[in-house]
Structure 1
Amino acid sequence: MSSKSIIKGRGAQRNIHNRFFELSHEMRDDFLEYCHKEGEVVDKNKTQYLNVFPKTIVNKVKSPDVGMAYSMDMYQGCEHGCIYCYARNSHEFWGFSAGLDFERKILVKKDAPKLLEDLLKKKSWKAHTIVMSGNTDCYQPAEQKFQLTRKCLELFLKYKHPVAIITKNALILRDIEILKALAEDNLISVNISITSLSEDTRRILEPRTATIKRRLQTVKELSDNGIPVNVMLAPIIPSINSHEILPMAKAVSEAGALGIAHTVVRLNGAIGEIFSDWIKKTLPDRADKVLHQIENCHGGTLNESRYGVRMRGEGQIAKQINDLMALARLKYFRGKTMPKLNTSLHEQYKDGQMKLF
């Protein structure tokens, strides 16, 4: 793919049709060629922040195989631009494309802290671990501007409520004092996503994320401060990062991680088209091989929706990946375990301070 045709700093290389729309928008090659000859900028590649106002912020998770009961997202869409991200499909529900729109039109829920506090104060609410974020990264670049994640963490601390975080951004270290205070009462766990030890791989898979070196440093700094860290080696993509499972497990264990988890990549909905377009442009020499190996993990298709199967895959390649993960746990995580978070304190702090009587 020529450098002129690459949309720099983005994962998806185009917008694809929103399946809920009858009409579609197409950028024709002859128009692009004309603009190039005339020196005109077709696409300024800017990120937009759009305010949205949901009535609730915490969602009950009904899927039985994702390891969480409740989740919340302060932002919809994600500027990190990870090409494989399952959350891309959700952007279509908001009327946008799962392609470039997902990375460039970020929906901001400015009322998230108020909505969260209203929930935590309800007499009917019983403490369950709430995960930030079940869909898009709560420490994506938008967080630097809006600080909604930080405000919500302050509320979890105020009301002594357990919270878990999933992120691949070192910005989490900005809030380390809040995290340390939560950890004193066993109210926090952090999941850091690391998909490769190669910067070349990271840059094309996850163009606007923290560097691998910075993420490993984040695991170490959190762990050194008593904050339990699990590392998500996810997704594992055959012939892209599948050969790195043992080296990644070793590196994160040495950095202080207490556990690892993984998924085998699956390309449901619009993601199959977005990923296929991306890999044929960025890795044309191995595109067909990778796509066929992904299909081998999911019964001959890029899609997999069956609970209990979709995360681990089937077939010989998936078995090799799962066996390597089992070996990695035996080799590098023997005797390590993530703590179960404390749900017993919140009832005493329903009004934000301990009840004396």
Structure 2
Amino acid sequence: MEHENIIKGQGAQRNVINRFDRYTYEPDDEDFEIVKTSFIEVFPKSIVNRVKSEDLPMEYSMNPYQGCEHGCAYCFARPTHEYWGYSAGIDFERKIMVKKNAPELLEKFFQKRGYKPAPILLSGNTDCYQPAERQFEITRKILQVCLDYRHPVSILTKNALVLRDIDVLKPMAEQNLVSVSLSIPTINEDLRRKMEPRTSSAKNKLKAIEVLSENGIPVNVMIAPIIPGLNSDEPLSILKTISEAGAQSFGYTLVRLNDTVEPVFVKWIETCYPDKAQKVLNLIRSMRGGKLGEKKDFDRQKGEGNIAEMIHNTFKIGRKKFFDGKEFPKLSIENFTGTKAQQLRLFD
């Protein structure tokens, strides 16, 4: 049974204390807040980030937006909003920073002397196809720069809005320059509405897999995160469904609630699933050595204990049953044009 005062369409039910603030305001538990989304233009000095974590496969990432309207209570990126002076709670979902100069910064990055191309992950932190993208089209412009320079990029998103840019993605795929990973933690639509309230529906995500695949664009699916007691019974049904839709590979992660993600998630599950809340939290603790989070490289991916082992074994079975013989292509760096692309475009 849901809490009667749940704020619909939001993962965070409160703003939580920013750990960097000197002074804090303790909100009353009955102080419910409905906030409209605001967009803040920012002009960073760089857009491409070098990924230093040893357990992540990508070398570079970039994020057109800071903050994310999708509203997933478990999002690991929430604490990054605190560096900007905002809360990891409602602010993360409703105060969206828009990096309008991102395409120009990317072009300058490609033109650096001695730059050696490597695939860049588009959305290493917050979703590049969140609802703001309909208005600002920064992701689309970034993809056009990648196409112009023949630079490989992998996209990670929870939003079927990626289909809008099929006209750019298709010629990129023909040169082995792009792949798309769709995040599908559940195909239970009632659960999806609560877990990720402003993402595309499960039905639309599955349709996106089909359309992308039909157009020769490789699709991976991230079944993430697995939350024991909520979606941990779904892996085999998800794997069967996405395989039939055309996905060529998949990945998954176990939920971890680091730093200020923890109070946001705890409040969310107590509000949305009060009858299950303590059971779910205890199951998470069983995978995390009695805690709700884990930061150590590699350990954060594996978890520990019987529940984690059962989840890993389930995915092993699903991989053999539904993805045997499928292979995800490696993106190409062979055709990167460096500074030549800008010169060639003068003749367009």
TM-score, with structure 2 as normaliser: 0.96
Question: Does structure 2 conserve the Cα–Cα contact (< 8 Å) formed by 1:126 and 1:347?
Answer: no
2:101 is matched with 111
Distance 1:286 1:91 in 2: 29
Tell me the amino acid that sits aligned with residue 49 of structure 2: N
Tell me the amino acid that sits aligned with residue 274 of structure 1: V
1:48 is matched with 38
**Residue deviations 1:148-190 (CA, integer Å, cap 9, x gap):** 0000000000000000000010100000010000001100011
2:179 is matched with 189
Alignment of 1:1-357 (within 5 A): 5-28=5-28, 32=31, 43-347=33-337, 350-352=340-342
Question: Does structure 2 conserve the Cα–Cα contact (< 8 Å) formed by 1:120 and 1:350?
Answer: no
Question: Does structure 2 conserve the Cα–Cα contact (< 8 Å) formed by 1:160 and 1:187?
Answer: yes
Question: Does structure 2 conserve the Cα–Cα contact (< 8 Å) formed by 1:348 and 1:354?
Answer: no
Q: The residue matched to 1:288 in structure 2 has which SS?
A: helix
Distance 2:47 2:254 in 1: 29
Deviation at 1:351, TM superposition (A): 3.3
Question: Does structure 2 conserve the Cα–Cα contact (< 8 Å) formed by 1:86 and 1:271?
Answer: yes
Question: Does structure 2 conserve the Cα–Cα contact (< 8 Å) formed by 1:18 and 1:98?
Answer: yes
Question: Does structure 1 conserve the Cα–Cα contact (< 8 Å) formed by 2:2 and 2:273?
Answer: no
Distance 1:334 1:10 in 2: 38
Q: The residue matched to 2:299 in structure 1 has which SS?
A: coil
Question: Does structure 2 conserve the Cα–Cα contact (< 8 Å) formed by 1:80 and 1:208?
Answer: yes
**Residue deviations 1:318-351 (CA, integer Å, cap 9, x gap):** 0111111111110000111111100011146643
Tell me the amino acid that sits aligned with residue 153 of structure 1: L
1:36 is matched with none
Deviation at 1:29, TM superposition (A): 5.3
Distance 1:29 1:223 in 2: 47
Distance 1:15 1:44 in 2: 11
Tell me the amino acid that sits aligned with residue 16 of structure 1: V
1:37 is matched with none
Tell me the amino acid that sits aligned with residue 185 of structure 1: Q
**Residue deviations 1:171-219 (CA, integer Å, cap 9, x gap):** 0000001000000110001100001111110011000000000000001
Question: Does structure 2 conserve the Cα–Cα contact (< 8 Å) formed by 1:160 and 1:349?
Answer: no
Q: The residue matched to 2:300 in structure 1 has which SS?
A: coil
Q: The residue matched to 2:77 in structure 1 has which SS?
A: helix
Distance 2:238 2:260 in 1: 29
- Relative to structure 1, the CA distance from residue 295 to residue 43 in structure 2 (aligned partners, 3 Å threshold; closer, same or farther) is closer
Deviation at 1:99, TM superposition (A): 0.5
Distance 1:348 1:11 in 2: 42
- Relative to structure 1, the CA distance from residue 172 to residue 201 in structure 2 (aligned partners, 3 Å threshold; closer, same or farther) is same
Distance 1:302 1:236 in 2: 13
Distance 1:27 1:45 in 2: 15
Deviation at 1:17, TM superposition (A): 0.2
Higher RCO (CA < 8 A, seq sep 6+): 2
Tell me the amino acid that sits aligned with residue 339 of structure 1: P
**Residue deviations 1:213-253 (CA, integer Å, cap 9, x gap):** 00000011001110000000010110100100000000000
Distance 2:217 2:339 in 1: 22
Matched-pair identity in %: 52
Distance 2:299 2:241 in 1: 28
Distance 2:191 2:2 in 1: 18
Tell me the amino acid that sits aligned with residue 287 of structure 1: A
Question: Does structure 2 conserve the Cα–Cα contact (< 8 Å) formed by 1:121 and 1:351?
Answer: no
Tell me the amino acid that sits aligned with residue 172 of structure 2: L
Runs of 4+ aligned structure 1 residues displaced above 6 Å come to none
User: Superposition RMSD on alpha carbons, in Å?
Assistant: 1.6
Structure 1: gaps spanning 5 or more residues:
33-41
